[in-house]
Structure 1
Amino acid sequence: MQDEVQLTSQDFDLGRVWNNRFANLGPAFFSARTPTPVREPYWVARSQSMARELGLEDDWWRSQEALEAFSGNRPLVGSRPLASVYSGHQFGVWAGQLGDGRAIMLGEVQASDGNSLELQLKGSGSTPYSRMGDGRAVLRSTIREFLCSEAMHALGIPSTRALCMTGSDQPVRRETLETAAVLARTAPSFIRFGHFEHFSHTEQHEELKKLTDFVIDGFYPECRDAPNPAAALLAAVTSRTAALMAGWQAVGFCHGVMNTDNMSILGLTLDYGPFQFMDGFDPNHIPNHTDTGGRYSYKRQPQVAYWNLFALGQALLPLIGEPDETMAALEPYKAIFPAAQDMRMAAKLGFTNSNEGTSALINDLLALMAKERTDYPIFWRRWAQHLAGQPVETVLDLFHDRPGIENCMQQLQELESKFGQQPNANLALGSSPAIVLRNHLAEQAIALANQKDFSMIQQLLDVLENPFSEHPNHTTWAGFPPDWASSIQISCSS
């Protein structure tokens, strides 16, 4: 369906300083592209915390001009809209050239701390990289990304952020006929592993070096003086990615589509599609119902991340020079990831350090939880609450295998005796959220939004921004999912 709305000619001034460094890399890296307007846009949701980080006033959005600007209907003063080109591996297969098919980067705006943040409009129309697509995002998927990116940030897991989202009754065809939405999202950079793969596979080695220098100078300056800066960059990205995977695994987050073009060079959670926070614990859980082979199941995420890093290493090989140096830069992943995961899981137990005892207890707990499909967020929250003084029965009652969980509680007592200290309840409470964005919560917010009721989105955002606190007014949101939640199917179009 063709858009019939015309771009409003008068620019909107956000009142921030723009610094369009990526646009200065040159035409090999992008295509200039103006957003395609949507019909009669309306506000759906805004993140005031993100707005404050950008240094915007609380009422920044209270004008028709702002609404039009963040719907793609009006230019922003100082912006240089573009769509970047990249390539990548999708489900382990080389997919060739890809690119920003439904996201247009407006440029880099200076935040309140003086750093620059890239600002994108996702769902703002077709680009040269849309591959026959319409370049639109639908209300359903945009709500999910808006909420989850802000929720992950509040959980302390590196992520892109969301500033606001707008909607339109303009129809968009996916599995069914839906309505359009536009998400304004931010990150220090949206550069992906796939950007490096693109210039390496097309043998544009000068551009590959230019991109590498850009990333090092802008985000990894400690790599500049290394004997081999490209190898040092790979090692630094490896470290960040390993830490990111530990965060995902500890909180029970499943991404769903870990293609190399969805991997951030800064170690951020990027491109929320068929993601899910697990309900019942299942190491083999596959959040994306189109992933029939289970490549991106929960338990495989750390392995896939290493595979993707290897692909990045191959892309950087023309600059690194020696395969041995490439592999040496990747090798620390094998130690960094398990160590980071052990620390995160020990914290959920209430211990500041991991050791053989905490690891053994974690393994036994996870095995027991997997056998019974115990609710992952609720178990860990009740464990932390027990450490804070709640009756142990709140934990025991989650299991049919009473001897199994009692054995785990006995292990905990032995650890207390061995180390001469009790677990830190505050540490455990601060490591196991009271609420996460479960699929059924997002579905309920989407159902209301389809009726033009956006109140639950804002209420969910307010709660998800404080995930480690109790929310007495929303106890059902922190409770067990309804029976129908297990039938929710999420695909790549989500």
Structure 2
Amino acid sequence: MPKFNPKHSLAQLGEPYSLSCSPTRVSAPQWLAFNPELAAQLQIPEVFWGTDTGLGLFSGNQLPDWAKPVAHAYAGHQFGNFVPQLGDGRALLLAELEDVNGQLFDLQLKGAGQTPFSRRGDGRAPLGPVLREYLVSEAMHALGVPTTRALAAVLTGDWVQRETAEPGAIITRVAKSHIRIGSFQYLAARGDTVKLKTFADYVIARHYPACADSDTPYLALLEAIVAAQAALIAQWMSLGFIHGVMNTDNMSITGETIDYGPCAFMDSFNPAQVYSFIDTQGRYAWGNQPKIGSWNLARFAETLLPLVSENAERAVELATQALQQFNMLNETEFRRLMGIKLGITEPVATDEPLIRDYLTLMVKNNADFTLAFRLLSQSVTDSSAGAAGLFADNNGWQDWAIRWHKRLAEQGVSTADIALQMNKVNPALIPRNHQIAKALEHAANDGDLSLFNRLHKALKTPFELSAETADLAQPPTAEQCISNTFCGT
């Protein structure tokens, strides 16, 4: 069995990949949340679990000897505009921890103060975005979506200035990697192919070791990351999730959801929906996420061209072939996920019209995305029940339901089993925007974490609904609807 033995493989690469940097002390740290299940998985000694010693670690005020903080360097396209140096402006990688299964995970403080990459920023995080990331990332994990996770959150006792002065906080997050597409862009922009190759070899060895056995390891790396991103974005789409800021510096090379800023789960289904206050053009709308994912991967492929082949034309040809797999992989996985949500155990290409037409029906009737699938299990035996109540266009619903029932009948599976399986993949509970906003308001204004804690507990079991959590499954009223979410930087 692995033991607690922190590693520092990224830090050991040295510059330019990362820079040593210590957290900035905070004045009066207090616990907000701690994740003992994750701590146990990571084999973190219990001396850090909700204790003053842990508060010293997770506030950055008193790091143990095994923590070697570094700020990772990266570049990125932000809303399509390339910035050659970004980097961890408010985050510090403390160590890499081996979990009980032998998997290595990054341990990172976010909001720990200024770093060499802060670009005049304060390096801090407001309470609201910290609690939002804690809730949403843990909810995503419970939904089965690859994601960074939240280990701890602490109040700093200091204020941070955004539009107004807000309480400061720090989140400790865990991921297989915090390396991004922008990490490769940073090295490529410097024109140092030797260091780029060193970094690519590091990523292969740590995250994609099977690529090392390929005759073309860097092309294999590109193909693996294309597949990971295609699957991830399909999962987002199937849950009505909008990342919000799919800049290349916010896209992980391991296919994990990372950098929860102005993210949101949709209420009423609208493919053009955005929530981010800064996305005024809808670049990162729900329906644009596959296109942006493909665009981001093209930027990643550009960085690898010198490694893929010494022949520039051949490198472009091979990379283009790899990139062309994205749409097929993403569409196939989206069809599979959406088909299963409709109760189709083995979706095929001929199911696409049925899926598409249901989504169109949802848009036309302003149906809630989550409820339109969750309630559908009640419609398996009675087309006038369950989801039917969401559609004012009853004729449109009935026409679609006839086709749907015919498809379900072809499977030779009992309606009870179909309904049961549908409830295992269609969540009853998601982090509703209006509930998150209320929880954050209570925490910031009154120091009241009761709703935050209630949401956090309920979202651990998103496919289960009880009398105690039924109110959390309700969509917002017109007055409760949230149109904008914010990043916190």
- The answer to whether the aligner puts 1:474 opposite 2:469 as a matched pair is yes
Please name the residue that 2:327 is paired with: 334
1:363 aligns with 2:353: no
**CA shift for structure 1 position 463:** 1.1
Q: Contact between 1:193 and 1:260, CA under 8 Å: does it hold in 2?
A: yes
TM (normalized to structure 1)? 0.94
Q: Structure 2 CA distance, aligned partners of 1:369 and 1:59?
A: 51
Structure 1 residue 404 corresponds to structure 2 residue 396: yes
Match of residue 137 from structure 1: 125
2:113 pairs, out of 114, 125, 137, with: 125
Closer, same or farther in 2 for the Cα pair 1:31/1:92, shift >3 Å?
same
Deviation, 1:93, is 1.2
| Partner residue, 2:312 | none
- In the alignment, does 2:432 pair up with 1:444? no
> Which stretch shows the higher mean deviation, 242-251 or 51-60?
51-60
Q: Which amino acid aligns with 1:445?
A: A
Shift of 1:399: 1.1
TM-score (norm 2): 0.95
1:364–1:71 distance in 2 versus 1, CA, 3 Å: same
How far did residue 485 of structure 1 move? 3.0
- The residue identity in structure 1 corresponding to 2:422 is A
Aligned twin of 1:260: 248
Cross-structure match for 2:379: 386
> How far did 1:114 drift?
2.4
1:246-268 deviations in whole A, cap 9, x for unaligned? 10000000001000000000000
2:479 to 469, 480, 484: 484
- Alpha-carbon contact 1:281-1:373 (below 8 Å) kept: yes
CA contact (8 A) 2:267 2:369 kept: yes
Give 1:176-191 correspondences, 5 Å limit.
176-191=164-179
Map 1:42-441; keep pairs closer than 5 Å.
42-56=30-44, 60-321=48-309, 322-387=315-380, 392-422=384-414, 424-441=418-435
The one-letter code matched in structure 2 to 1:172 is V
State how far apart, in whole Å, the 2-side matches of 1:91 and 1:320 are: 27
8 Å contact kept, 1:384–1:432: no
CA distance in 2, matches of 1:413, 1:305: 34
Structure 1 residue 59: Cα displacement: 7.4
Deviation at 1:214, TM superposition (A): 0.6
Deviations 1:320-366 (A, max 9, x none): 12110111121211211111000000110111211245322111111
Name the CA shift for 1:390/1:186 in 2 (closer, same or farther; >3 Å).
farther
- Contact 1:136–1:180 under 8 Å retained in 2: yes
Q: Which amino acid aligns with 2:206?
A: G
**SS of match in other structure, 2:107:** strand
**SS of alignment partner, residue 485 of structure 2:** coil
Deviation at 1:487, TM superposition (A): 4.0
- Give the root-mean-square deviation of aligned CA atoms: 1.6
Q: Residues of 2 paired with 1:215 and 1:385: CA distance?
A: 46
Assess, with a 3 A threshold, how the Cα gap between structure 1 residues 224 and 487 changes in structure 2: closer, same or farther: closer
Structure 1 gaps, min length 5: 1-14
Unaligned runs of 5+ in 2: 310-314
Would you say the 8 A contact 1:416–1:422 is kept in 2? Answer: no
Question: Partner of 1:10 in structure 2?
Answer: none
Match of 1:473, SS state, is coil
Conserved in 1, the CA contact under 8 Å of 2:48 and 2:54?
yes
2:136 match: secondary structure: helix
- 3-state SS, counterpart of residue 256 of structure 2: coil
- Assess if the C-alpha contact under 8 Å between 2:343 and 2:408 holds in 1: no
Structure 1 CA distance for aligned equivalents of residues 328 and 349 of structure 2: 15
Q: Deviation of residue 115 (structure 1)?
A: 2.3
Rounded to whole Å, the distance in 2 between the matches of 1:70 and 1:60 is: 9
Encode CA deviations 1:430-488: one digit per residue, 9 max, x unaligned: 11100001111111111221211112222211111111111320211101213233244
Q: Is residue 385–residue 429 contact of structure 1 (8 Å, CA) maintained in 2?
A: no
Deviations, residues 149-188 of structure 1 (Å, cap 9, x unaligned): 1111111110011101001231100111101000000111
Residue type at the aligned position of 1:37: R
Q: Secondary structure at the match of 1:437?
A: coil
Partner of 1:19: 7
Asked if the contact 1:317–1:326 (Cα under 8 Å) also holds between the matched residues in 2, the reply is yes
Aligned-pair distance for 1:19? 0.8
CA contact (8 A) 2:86 2:117 kept: yes
Question: Counterpart amino acid of 2:150?
Answer: A
| 1:230-260 deviations in Å (ceiling 9; x for gaps) | 1000000000100001100000000010000
Deviation at 1:491, TM superposition (A): 2.7
What is the one-letter code of the residue matched to 2:435? L
Range with bigger deviation, 403-412 or 327-336 = 327-336
- Which amino acid is the alignment partner of residue 341 of structure 1? F
| 2:401 maps to amino acid | M
Q: Which moved more, 1:450-459 or 1:206-215?
A: 450-459
| Pairing 1:454–2:442 present | no
- Is the contact between residue 365 and residue 390 of structure 2 (CA under 8 Å) also seen in structure 1? no
Distance (Å, rounded) in 2 between the aligned partners of 1:416 and 1:454: 44
